């Protein structure tokens, strides 16, 4: 399945150009259009796209506000937003866009290959390179949801979306984009077996790990679960650490895809985001830091293979921080 793209611009001619370019160079992509910010928000609510091409300047609601609303709504925050603007846009506006959650910028006029490269980079970033690991938790018991969420929040980079019933979770699949699903068995409206079967009918989640929580599961329970595509069954009650360990193993398996980890250190948000945008097309995971203490915390994890340093970090220059790095026995060999 190709990328699902929503193009937003108040000029129909620009939308027609977007459509023509994408249909020619990305024939597997599905593209929809919206002529205003309000129409864009309605379209995202109806069916969240993978990527939004968003004009920065529109009369009813500008692209910065549209982006901010999308990124602050947990149901749509995973949408990748590529801001499209005239070359005249000021740097402060770009910073505002990135602070509002924009994932990239493209200046008009642009070549078709520039648009295609940006879309492909954002798709790689979305599907393979995000450090965030999204876990969908579905249980009609608030206590159970809280126990699971509390344990999983101990794992770095885990993002949790919790629902009290399966129909609501199914409706939110395209917005949440889960990497891992944990579901109770006995729930009103749709039980865990049917929920899993429904998830498996979605082409994007045919292989997503799906854990079923069941009280005193017997052989029949496990057979029914297997027939509907459940990955594993956890008996209730269970040690929370066992579940978190299971999730960690799946996170590690996904992260093995990456070749290298790169630290981008610069106090300027726009610079960091631009560098991340260009690095997204290759097999690296990008970590961002705007200040020396943030960079040091990332380096202490022991996974960084390359450091890209800007001219300034908060409170010091990039040159001075680089010299300090070279004096560290632990990190002096990092290129």
Domain assignment present for 281: yes
CA–CA dist 41, 120 (Å, integer): 23
CA distances 306 to 260, 302, 310, 333, Å, are: 8, 11, 13, 10
pLDDT at 269 over 60: yes
pLDDT mean over 293-312: 82
Domain assignment present for 311: yes
Residue 167's CB: how many other CB atoms inside 10 A? 16
Residue 51 tokens read as: 């990527």
pLDDT mean over 268-281: 70
Residues 17 and 124 grouped into a single domain: yes
More confident call, 136 vs 302? 136
Q: CATH number for the domain including 80?
A: 3.40.50.2300
The overall average pLDDT reported for the chain is 83
pLDDT mean over 13-26: 90
Range of the domain at 142: 133-255
pLDDT mean over 17-35: 90
Residues 6+ apart with CB under 8 A from 236: 213, 214, 215, 216
pLDDT at 186 over 70: yes
Domain assignment present for 298: yes
Model confidence band, residue 1 (pLDDT cutoffs 50, 70, 90): low
Collapsing DSSP states into helix, strand and coil, what is residue 9? coil
pLDDT at 55 over 80: yes
What residues pair up with 133 in beta bridges, in sequence order?
158
The domain boundary, picked from 95, 128, 161, lies at 128
Task: Please tell me the predicted confidence (pLDDT) of residue 42.
Answer: 93
Return the H-helix or E-strand segment holding 243. Answer: helix 240-255
Q: What secondary structure does DSSP assign to 293-304, as a single string?
A: HHHHHHHTTS--
Residues 6+ apart with CB under 8 A from 32: 4, 5, 6, 7, 43, 49
Domain assignment present for 143: yes
Model confidence band, residue 205 (pLDDT cutoffs 50, 70, 90): confident
Domain assignment present for 98: yes
Return the H-helix or E-strand segment holding 214. Answer: strand 210-215
Task: Please tell me the predicted confidence (pLDDT) of residue 225.
Answer: 93
pLDDT digits (tens, 9 = 90+) for 110-168: 888 878 877 877 776 555 445 678 899 999 999 999 999 888 888 877 889 999 999 99
The answer to whether the CB of 270 falls within 8 A of the CB of 95 is: yes
Nearest by Cα to 64 from 36, 102, 28 = 102
Residues 123 and 146 grouped into a single domain: no
pLDDT at 53 over 90: yes
Residues 161 and 210 grouped into a single domain: yes
Domain assignment present for 333: no
């Amino acid at each position: 399945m190709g990328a699902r793209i929503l193009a937003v611009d108040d000029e129909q001619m620009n939308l027609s150009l977007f459509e023509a370019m994408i249909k020619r160079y990305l024939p597997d992509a599905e593209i929809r259009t919206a002529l205003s910010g309000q129409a864009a928000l309605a379209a995202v609510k109806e069916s969240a796209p993978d990527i939004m091409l968003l004009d920065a300047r529109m009369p009813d609601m500008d692209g910065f506000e549209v982006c901010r609303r999308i990124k602050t709504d947990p149901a749509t925050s995973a949408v990748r937003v590529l801001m499209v603007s005239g070359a005249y846009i000021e740097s402060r506006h770009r910073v505002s866009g990135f602070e509002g959650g924009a994932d990239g910028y493209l200046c008009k006029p642009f070549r078709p290959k520039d648009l295609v490269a940006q879309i492909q980079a954002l798709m790689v970033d979305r599907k393979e390179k995000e450090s965030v690991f999204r876990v969908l938790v579905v249980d009609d018991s608030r206590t159970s949801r809280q126990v699971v969420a509390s344990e999983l929040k101990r794992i770095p980079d885990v993002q949790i979306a919790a629902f009290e019933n399966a129909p609501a979770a199914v409706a939110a699949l395209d917005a949440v984009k889960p990497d891992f699903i944990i579901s109770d068995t006995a729930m009103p409206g749709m039980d865990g077996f049917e929920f899993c079967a429904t998830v498996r009918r979605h082409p994007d989640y045919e292989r997503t790990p799906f854990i079923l929580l069941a009280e005193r599961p017997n052989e029949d329970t496990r057979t029914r679960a297997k027939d509907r595509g459940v990955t594993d069954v956890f008996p209730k009650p269970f040690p929370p650490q066992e579940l978190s360990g299971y999730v960690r193993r799946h996170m590690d398996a996904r992260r093995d895809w990456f070749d290298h980890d790169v630290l981008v250190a610069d106090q300027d948000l726009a610079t960091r985001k631009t560098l991340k945008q260009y690095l997204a097309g290759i097999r690296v995971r990008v970590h961002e830091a705007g200040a020396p203490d943030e960079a040091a915390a990332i380096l202490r994890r022991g996974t960084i293979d390359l450091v890209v340093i800007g001219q300034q970090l908060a409170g010091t220059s990039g040159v001075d921080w680089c010299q300090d790095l070279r004096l560290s026995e632990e990190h002096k060999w990092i290129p």
